[in-house]
Structure 1
Amino acid sequence: MKRRNLIQMGAATAAGFTLAGVPLHLLAAGKKGGVINAVVQPEPPSLMVGITQNAPTQLVAGNIYEGLLRYDEKVNPLPGLATSWTSNKEGTVFTFKLKPGVTWHDGKPFTADDVVFSADVFLRKTHARLRANLASVESIKALDPLTVEFRLKYAFGPFLGIFEVGSMPMVPKHIYEGTDFATNPANATPIGTGPFKFKEWVKGSYIQLVANDKYHVKDVPMVDSVYFHIIPDAASRAAAFESGKIDVVPGGSVEYFDVQRLAKLPGAAVTTKGWEFFAPHAWMWINNRKAPMDNVKFRQAMMFAIDREAICKVAWQGFAKPATGPFNSNIKFYSTDVAKYPRNVETAKKLLAEAGYKGETLRLLPLPYGETWTRSAEILRQNLAQVGVKVEMVATDVAGWNQKLNEWDYDLAFTYVYQYGDPALGVARNYTSANIAKGSPFNNVEGYSNPKVDALFEAGGKEPDAEKRRAIYLEVQKILLDEVPVAWLYEINFPTLYRTKINNLVSSAIGLNDSLGTASIG
């Protein structure tokens, strides 16, 4: 991205725009005040998003804390706590200008020292994903109270994609410096700079946030309070929305066969916006370490055997679309110029014969996230049975699923991951050999290793030129689709149910995780 364009982006707030490019006049569509009642599922273990990054934590805490940047639906960076940013032509020095007059919820000023502390001290220790993304960063310096310089060891192509609130939340230096970050009492009463302040958490019942009346964007937030209700089962969550108790049901909180019915209620609507940055991508892990899964023809047979269209239509009720390979179509450098795997039973059988498959029974771990995932696994098992592959379903709870994948104790297993807008941020980790390590269900769990792929992913991350990156990642996609380390299934379009009385509910590529400040009740 050219230096000139970077500077221009920083002018968005001055041109009558607020969070994530939402025009200020649209915020006036609703009246000031009111309460939004939302669901959070499951109950988050913590609201300190710098330490805990699971989805429920990000949903709530992303409206308490903020990042330097936000992202639009095309995953382009927009102003957040930083109003502008520039880089040198080599892409190795980035300078961010911070918004003046920003304060923490306790009234202390937000400054460049907080940025340096957050990124270079706190998050390097507590945030594994960001720590990996900062491997290219040589130094982070406060040039003055409102200017921060990130100096890189080498160009890192997706560098401007690591600044959203879940990836690099700003935390208050004056509260955390010199403390044990994991046990600091402030973790229970989070203090950020965001549009909402933490008010109360009644365990097992609700979390309440209230408007930050000192927020740095005029007329934001529009509502007085947000309650995140903890409701233990999907049927009860659906009933709460149907009765009017709940205004917002985030994606995945009710079963998909209920979504269309609930969306037809008077004053109800559904949207799939707000997931563009995460780009949820589902596949079936194939344990490459053991026969018959170590044979590429067996893995290709899996791809030809699976009826992705049926899974998307039947199990996901249309809220998913077939994946074409390792890249979600929402992330940069996605291409369809690769090998295709339409369902073909005869081709699958032929490849199985060539692979020497002898009828071994394979263990399949469904993802224990509800009936939709169970139905998906049942359809896939039927697909494999139709080509002669014997499959035994192994039911687990979430902890058991984690443990088995952590220990590579599986043959086939369902999963989905976030891809974070760029292959260097959310794809490489699943296929590079350096990420073959027990203890995580989200790295290279399949055990795939190809030095050429390793080299291409490394080159793609370090290349600053977009067109050169495109060529590198096209080659990566072609190799992976030939070698099929996993069986790609579908892109998930998580549906959010909401009351039509709520305006501007989703205003960024991470959706509800940082958009509630722009929401209003009209």
Structure 2
Amino acid sequence: MTAFGAAAQGATTLRIGLAEDPDVLDPSFSRTYVGRIVFSAFCDKLFDIDEKLNIVPQLALSYETAPDGKAMTIKLRPNVKFHDGEPLDAEAAKFSIERHMNVTGSFRKSELSSVDHVEVVDPLTIKLVLKTPFAPLIAQLTDRAGMMLSPKAVKEAGDKFGLHPVCAGPYKFVERVQQDRMVFEKFADYWNKDNVFIDKIIYQPIIDPTVRLANLKSGGLDLAERILATDIKDVRADKNLVLSTVPELGYFGLTINIKNDKAKGPLSQSEKVRQALDLSIDREALNEVVFNGEFTAGNQWVSPTHPYYQKSFPIQPRNVEKAKALLKEAGVALPVSVDYMVPKGTEYEAVAQVVQSMAAEAGFDIKIRVVEFATTFKEAQAGNFQIFQINWSGRIDPDANSYVFLHTGAPQNDGGYSNPDADKLMEEARAISDPAQRKAIYEKLTRIVLNDEPIIYIFHRKLLFGQTRKLEGYKPMPDGLVRVVGLKLN
């Protein structure tokens, strides 16, 4: 009795507050940023990234690309186990990658579309044989496409795998109550268990940022993501809290439904109407009003500080008269009525209201429709929107910020945008590894996309995390994910 009491007292639980409830906890089918935060605790990947965006080994020890760029050989870490005790060997790695590539509805398909097949070289070595050279492949394997799943668990659970996922990470899945909590316990046989110091992690989706911050202040949470920019001073003034900030890799934009708009509204029919909407938005003013000027205005899929940002296409200043002239040229009836779908959330809704008010001056009648976060993705895939206001958390390679949303038929191209010239450029950029050559290709792509405007890019967030001073070892990362290995609670 006493021994049990002592053990229970010594147990530590880390509580992390999320801004949304993730979609399915299955790496092949997940689309959400919050889902990726949760995966960090229980689904290790072949590779990871460090604070400087270098690619580092995780479940793999090393990789080698063939001289012709058409194969990648990966050596796996020995003695790794899945949470069900099954070994992570070359057969299991081959199975995981092939599932991401082939299972119906997988969002990893386009990320791995260059892979022709996977070969087992020896018990701890696999070879990815490619159809064409593919520069971003190693970067794709630092995210969900590189997450390893227990073949036994996948075969037993089938399409229900996401209800009880089994991976090879530091924590194992215990339970999930939708909209309430996800619970994970330390995995005793984890390959890096000597650096895992916390016994249990509970992720709690708390959509209201004011409530999320109140929970952090009261000790109900130990770490909270997406603190409001307007709450920065408040967090910094609290002696029990620490604020961490890091620029995000992704973008915040308006996806326009071009092909799947059932109403065939003016936005879907004319790029001039889309350009008019873009010109009606003052990005700097929006940043000041909603985010106290803490974020970075943008007009491309990478931020102005990114090496692949195209400086020859700077952000256009707001121009209401030109916007009106474009609407006149397009010959549309005014006001232009628009269905604008926005995920539920204080900042999301504030952005939508500012865009609504600015666009009204140019001749747009924007009708804001607030939808529960995970449901917005289902609505988007079904084509039930004219504008989908969405944040993309971003990846280290520019391909992953563009191809999946802009290429014809790509799985997250919710608006059905299709331009053969743009497709060709995205495919070319994937096959070349020289940064200067790739940047020149992306410059041509930027010209096309900024004319067609399938997505109106507005700004790039600064990731704001609040934590209790009792939490040690937390480092904010540019991908916004919480690495739980090495964390300690005093």
Tell me the equivalent position of 1:5.
none
Amino acid at match of 2:159: A
Partner-residue secondary structure (3-state), 2:216:
helix
Query: CA-to-partner distance for each residue in 1:488-508, whole Å, 9 max, x for gaps?
Result: 211122322112332332365
Could you tell me which residue of structure 2 aligns to residue 272 of structure 1? 245
Read off the aligned partner of 2:424 and give its amino acid letter. A
Query: For structure 1, which segment, 83-92 or 409-418, has the greater mean C-alpha deviation from structure 2 after superposition?
Result: 409-418
Is 1:144 the counterpart of 2:122? The answer is yes
Which moves more between the two structures, 132-141 or 353-362? 353-362
Q: 1:214 aligns with which of 175, 189, 194?
A: 189
Describe how 1:340-355 pairs up with structure 2 within 5 A.
340-355=315-330
Displacement after TM superposition at 1:120 (Å)? 1.4
**Shift, 1:340, TM fit:** 3.6
Match of 1:7 in 2: none
Which of the residues 306, 312, 331 maps onto 2:281? 306
Figure out how many residues of one structure are paired with residues of the other and give that number. 476
Please point out which of 413, 418, 440 is paired with 1:443.
413
For 1:266 and 1:455, the matched residues in 2 are separated by 54
CA contact (8 A) 1:130 1:168 kept: no
- Structure 2 residue runs of 5 or longer lacking an equivalent are 1-9
Matching residue's letter, 1:183: K
Residue 338 of structure 1 deviates from its aligned partner by 1.6
2:134 is aligned, of 156, 169, 186, to 156
Give the whole-Å Cα distance in 1 for the aligned partners of 2:33 and 2:208: 17
Cα distance in 2 for residues equivalent to 1:189 and 1:413: 30
Deviations 1:188-224 (A, max 9, x none): 4433221223345466653332333433226311223
Correspondent of 2:225 among 241, 244, 250:
250
In the other structure, the counterpart of 1:29 is none
Q: Which residues of structure 1 form unaligned runs of 5+?
A: 1-31
Native 8 Å contact 1:36 1:223 kept in 2: yes
1:469 and 1:90 map into 2 onto residues whose CA distance is 17
User: Aligned partners of 1:456 and 1:124: how far apart in 2?
Assistant: 25
2:146 to 168, 174, 178: 168
Task: Give the C-alpha shift of residue 248 in structure 1.
Answer: 0.7
Alignment match of 1:493 (pick from 449, 452, 462): 462
Task: Report which stretch shifted further, 398-407 or 334-343.
Answer: 398-407
Distance 1:311 1:174 in 2: 50
Tell me the equivalent position of 2:486. 518
Aligned equivalent of 1:480, options 424, 449, 452: 449
How big is the shift at 1:86? 0.8
Letter of the structure 2 residue corresponding to residue 225 of structure 1: K
Task: For 2:190, give the aligned amino acid.
Answer: Y
TM-score by length of 2: 0.86
The answer to whether the Cα contact below 8 Å between 1:73 and 1:274 also exists between their aligned partners in 2 is no
SS of equivalent residue, structure 1 residue 427 = helix
Deviation at 1:81, TM superposition (A): 0.6
Post-superposition offset of 1:61: 3.0
Q: Secondary structure at the match of 1:456?
A: helix
Q: For residue 284 of structure 1, report the CA deviation from its aligned partner.
A: 5.0
Paired position in structure 1 for 2:158: 181
User: What is the letter of the counterpart of residue 121 of structure 2?
Assistant: L
- Out of 148, 157, 166, the position equivalent to 1:191 is 166
- Counterpart of 1:391 in structure 2 is 365
CA distance in 2, matches of 1:189, 1:400: 21
Q: 2:254 aligns with which of 263, 266, 283?
A: 283
Report the alpha carbon displacement of residue 94 of structure 1 after superposing the two structures with TM.
0.8
Check 1:59–1:409 CA distance in 2 against 1; reply closer, same or farther (3 A cut): closer
Which residue, 38, 41, 44 being the options, matches 2:16? 38
Distance 1:363 1:421 in 2: 33
Specify the SS of the correspondent of 1:272. Answer: strand
Map Cα deviations across residues 327-366 of structure 1 (whole Å, 9 max, x no partner).
3457662222225411233333343444445423322414
Q: 1:85 aligns with which of 49, 59, 63?
A: 63
Out of 298, 311, 327, the residue aligned to residue 323 of structure 1 is 298
Q: CA RMSD in A?
A: 3.0
Aligned pairs for 1:390-429 within 5 A: 390-398=364-372, 401-402=376-377, 405-429=380-404
CA distance in 1, matches of 2:385, 2:178: 35
Label 1:171 to 1:467 Cα distance change in 2 as closer, same or farther (>3 A).
same
- Give the alignment partner of residue 335 of structure 1, picking from 310, 317, 321: 310
- Contact 1:281–1:328 (8 Å) recurs in 2: no
CA shift, 1:171, in A, is: 0.8
Deviation, 1:244, is 1.4
The SS at the match of 1:242 is helix
C-alpha distance in structure 2 between counterparts of 1:166 and 1:122, whole Å: 9
Question: Closer, same or farther in 2 for the Cα pair 1:105/1:507, shift >3 Å?
Answer: farther
Cα offset, 1:292, TM superposition: 6.1
Offset at residue 66 of structure 1 (A): 0.7
1:73 CA displacement: 3.7
Give the counterpart letter for 2:147 in structure 1. P
State how far apart, in whole Å, the 2-side matches of 1:202 and 1:299 are.
41
> Is 2:64 aligned against 1:94?
no
The one-letter code sitting in structure 1 at the alignment partner of 2:59 is L
2-side partners of 1:285 and 1:89: how far apart? 41
Contact (CA 8 Å) 1:91, 1:464: kept in 2 or not?
Answer: no
Conservation of the 8 A alpha-carbon contact between 2:28 and 2:106: no
Sequence identity (%) = 23
C-alpha deviation, 1:163, in angstroms: 1.1
